[in-house]
Structure 1
Amino acid sequence: MRVNVDRELCIGAGQCVVTAPEVFDQDDDGIVELLVDSPAESDRDAVKEAEHVCPAQVITVQD
């Protein structure tokens, strides 16, 4: 699994951080930061949920 984020389109809602804090964080301006671009298999469900709940749709997950 590979995760990408488009920081330029992020609106700072933080749903990704709430859903998958092992993979996502926010900088001082609230913009998404990707902590790991190839998360563990155990994080798959949380990462897919973060992709789904992101209101700006800036997260893409490739299997």
Structure 2
Amino acid sequence: MRIRVTGLPVECEAVVDVLVATLDVVEVSEPHPNRGRSDLVRVYVTVSTAALMARPTGGVT
């Protein structure tokens, strides 16, 4: 699964830290600047869903 995180660089970094601590993160992209005159960036986080899907609730908690 690929998750796109959009925000200020410091916000994206904080969210990626939470995702890494909570999920099985496979890859994190470098920040990509948003189009136009924006201070925002995009970061793509690839996570493995195998462990989530193996839960008895089908991944829903």
TM-score, length of structure 1 as denominator length: 0.30
Which of structures 1 and 2 has the bigger CA Rg?
2
Structure with the largest fraction of strand: 2
TM-score by length of 2: 0.31
* Structure with more contact order per residue of length (Cα contacts < 8 Å, sep ≥ 6): 1
